[in-house]
Amino acid sequence: MFPFYLHGRRVSGTNSLRQWLGPAFVILAFSLVVVASGGCSKKKTTEGPSAGGGPGGPGGPVPVTPVDYMVVAAQSLENTIQTTGNLVANEFVDIRPERSGRLTKILFKEGGQVQQGALLAELDRVELEAQLAKLRVNEAYYLREIARAKDLLAIDGIAQEEFDRISLSLDQTRADIRITEVAIDKTRIRAPFTGRLGLRQISEGAYVSSSDILVRLQQTNPIKLEFDIPERFSRDLRIGQQIAFTVEGLRTTFQAEVYALSNEVESSTRTLTVRARCGNGGNTLQPGNFAKVKVTTSQSQKVVLVPTDAVIPILNGQQVLVMQNGVAHGQQVEVAQRLENYIAITAGLNPGDTVILSGLLALREGMPVMPSQIIESPKPNDL
């Protein structure tokens, strides 16, 4: 601290100044502190927020959220099962030769329709025909021997044992003839049932065996529909029940009749396999087509339908947001059947309730809302 002079006397240091000023020093220092504090408080008050909050701020009004909504109505809904399945040929078989040999003739047209018993192909049978001719010569020889043996036996010219030996030789020759005839018949490959052929897999001249596939034959009228349903619906199906299905690329809804149910539930998927038959006179449906299946099990009671997006999963179930007196309120519901775009509500909603459809993630219990756009409740024809 620099020295200064008071009344012509040199003064230096704070203590010396305090000694000269005495009580006046203390009063001066306190005044400076008060002035400084007042200045800081005034500056802080000036720069801070105003006491009255704006909209959304502390003390201000909560903004009202516009929402889309639906006034729900009760309606009767058929209890249906939506699932997927595949179309399967009523009968199908891979045509294979029953014996080995060279393929000499192919008599069918790829993709063509054939009748039961139609000749499809032939194998080389020259060797078998030669063997058959030899056996027929032996048969003729033993027939002559039998005729002479009968005359000799009548006059005791030969023993009975010799006659029996000749008769046995004739029977053996005839058995060999039958075996050879069957072998020759197996060189002709025929259609086991009426149906449509697929694509040929082997060419003429190839050496084939019983493991080679020549072509696939399928019977597609009627055609089978195979699909799986969850285990809990297995008791709702019965033999003779009518079901509806559609396939990709066709706008027609087809009808099929259930004719068989699997006798066990698949342990890995907990589903039951069902098979139904459908007429296919114009061959419109093809094996392998993907099908969307709708099975009607029973007539449901009155239900309320809401869009799928309106149902919110919660810890102990599911809920929807409803508009009551201008505020959002969470209402727990019980859901039943799920349709393509809607969910059936069996408890928790009453006809005439207003269900909120938009802004569901941002809304909370008790937040003010206002109706913006109404969504029409679905009609039975829209389902």
- Confidence at 275, pLDDT banded by 50, 70, 90: very high
User: Is residue 176 situated within a structural domain?
Assistant: yes
> Looking at residues 185-192, what average pLDDT do you find?
95
CATH number of 246's domain: 2.40.30.170
pLDDT at residue 28 in the model = 44
Q: Are residues 286 and 320 in the same domain?
A: no
Higher per-residue confidence, 303 vs 116: 116
User: Is residue 105 situated within a structural domain?
Assistant: no
CATH number of 378's domain: 2.40.420.20
- The domain tally of the chain equals 4
Residue-range definition of the domain harbouring residue 157? 125-186
Higher per-residue confidence, 319 vs 118: 118
pLDDT at residue 332 in the model = 82
User: Is residue 56 situated within a structural domain?
Assistant: no
Indicate if the pLDDT at residue 1 is higher than 90: no
- Bridge-based pairing of strands 369-374 and 65-71 is parallel
Q: Are residues 291 and 309 in the same domain?
A: no
The strand pairing partners of 290, in sequence order, are 86
| pTM higher than 0.85 | no
User: Is residue 369 situated within a structural domain?
Assistant: yes
Please name which of 316, 380, 381 lies closest in space to residue 348, comparing C-alpha atoms: 316
The model's pLDDT over 39-63, given as tens digits with 9 standing for 90+, comes to: 444 444 444 444 444 455 555 566 7
pLDDT at residue 183 in the model = 95
Q: What mean pLDDT, rounded, does the chain reach?
A: 81
Indicate if the pLDDT at residue 352 is higher than 90: no
